Structure 1
Amino acid sequence: MDTADTTDTTDTSGVLDEALQRLHVCGPERLGRLTNHAPMVAEALVARGCPDTVHRWLDLYQERLEEFPAGVAPVTDADWAGALGDPRRAADWIAYFRRTLAAHGWRSVLATWWPRLLPGMYGGSTHPVIRVGHAVRALLRDDTSEPRLTELAHGLGYWAARHRPLAGITWLPGAPDAAAGLDAVPPVRPLEGGFPARLARVERLPAWAADVTGPDTARGRLAELVRAATHRYATHGHGEATMLVHAATAPSAVLRTLPALPRPLWVPSLRAAWTASAAVTGMYAAAGAVPYVPPGHLAAGDLIERAVAHGDEHVIKLADTALDVADEQAHAAALRAIELSEPLR
């Protein structure tokens, strides 16, 4: 994936750190189940060279933020397993990771906790791993920033609190490539209910990339998956305009995290990302493909400008992923999301 032309690698404005400091007094969710997308969008906008839009967007989103939740009891190295997957412990988990990151360094903590959290990346509608992916990308640009380290603590803590494994899957015959694999995902029945209810009904998925054993191949396959899921949104996003975005943005977050992870973790990362993308594809399956012809070519800067003007958080994050994929069909997917989604008011 070529991001050289669209990603701001200098990131010297200071806007992201200001935004994160503004946001860290807020909780990771609202109404007990809906995710706070603000830190992810702020990072995406700065990464795409739009720092001047960040605080204006946050002002519009402000009413969707809730105060940081109260803690229950400290999470410790001795008893963390008992707190895993307990959303009431979000504040406890975030505090734990703030302490641990300060003591051990973010790459070491990530390497320790990534394999512990990876089996449960399906909780929170995959938002926790997406938040971690944005935090890691920001740290890879500047790992001396305290607000970015704190953001990683929030992302990992949210993931630990919403940790939910997906077990009991029957693996169907494999597909030759990621696009064919997504085409072969059987729809979840019935197609109703929220994310947790649908996730509980995921029982069969096609095997794909199960034969991968090397980290470099895993990275290539993961990039292929991100591309295929992004492309697919252009023709299948009408199945559920918001939720199907995650079929692309969850594996994209994993791909962005790989450079910060030990190479032996790349293969299991690919497998977890495939399961997440395939599960979301089946949980919100469209009745069939709808051909989509975008209204002309858009340069990268114009695409992110349109996404920002629309304002929806999922639209912005899909546009961010589409700019990583960097081809016409990916751009078409972002434009399709703009058409399908309600704008931020």
Structure 2
Amino acid sequence: MGSHLQLSFLVLVMVTLATFMIPTFAQLTPNYYDKVCPKALPIIKSIVKQAIIREKRIGASLLRLHFHDCFVNGCDGSVLLDDTPSFLGEKTALPNLNSIRGFEVVDEIKVAVDKACNRPVVSCADILAVAARDSVAILGGAQYWYQVLLGRRDAIYASKDAANANLPPPFFNFPQLLASFQSHGLDLKDLVVLSGGHTIGLAKCITFRDRIFNDTHIDPNFAATLRDSCPRRSGDGDTNLTPLDASSPSQFDNTYYKALLHKKGLLHSDQELFKGGDDGGESDRLVQLYSYDPYAFARDFGVSMIKMGNLKPLTGYEGEIRYNCRKVNY
């Protein structure tokens, strides 16, 4: 009898130890840093605000960094990694090359939060998520604030090929855009509302040249005006910048959708969201809704950003917390 009790006790101990040894992959939570480093989020907001005061465009850049991070193997900070002898990272992929920016602000945030927390406890992936939210709220006001879910860890690998394959280009038509979003678990509503991020920021001539010279679903006066700074010949003015939302390029609001109603979307992919005919369907309805109801846009934008921010995050013992957002720890 004693041997049976000893055996049972041994089994219980082994099961208990195994339970503690198995990694647990917790869900992201809004209060992740409340105890481990309550100073982290206020510091991120402060640095983002200072960066936007220096250059308003940086808000759009930080929002875009988060989007480009999440669409390539999930929200894991991989977009921040420099190339190494073992991999070509995402920075040199076609959609990112000489395009994504804001890395210095991320570096500044990382140094500040690590100092305040006395150790590297805030992941680079979480920094991107919070900086994107803060940018939107600073440029758009309190109605655009949403509660970011936190607890991501950082990837130790990045892929140029994955970035080329997963980031939708500005010439995509609506079915291609929807397929791209659906491949990441996002739906038509997410596509329309997240595209509203183009209410801030600038685009290079090379990304909309074909639209202003060849598209038919475009306001002719709008196209003619753009041709002044974006000539037809490739190579001429390729890097000239134009606001994605000419009405209020530094204000996060719903004027992006108003422009689509008048066939004044800058990118081909923008205007694809609104056809204005019988075939527009749900996408047209959402563009119309957001064009006259800024509160509906603010509400739905936050919901979709949280949804996008939850794309395949690394948690538990996966990945690492980087000491330097540009390189892995080893």
Q: Which has the greater radius of gyration?
A: 2
Report the TM-score, using the length of structure 2 for normalisation: 0.27
Q: Specify which structure has the bigger relative contact order, considering alpha-carbon pairs within 8 angstroms and separated by 6 or more residues.
A: 2
- The normalised TM-score by structure 1 is 0.26
**1 or 2, which has the higher helix percentage?**
1
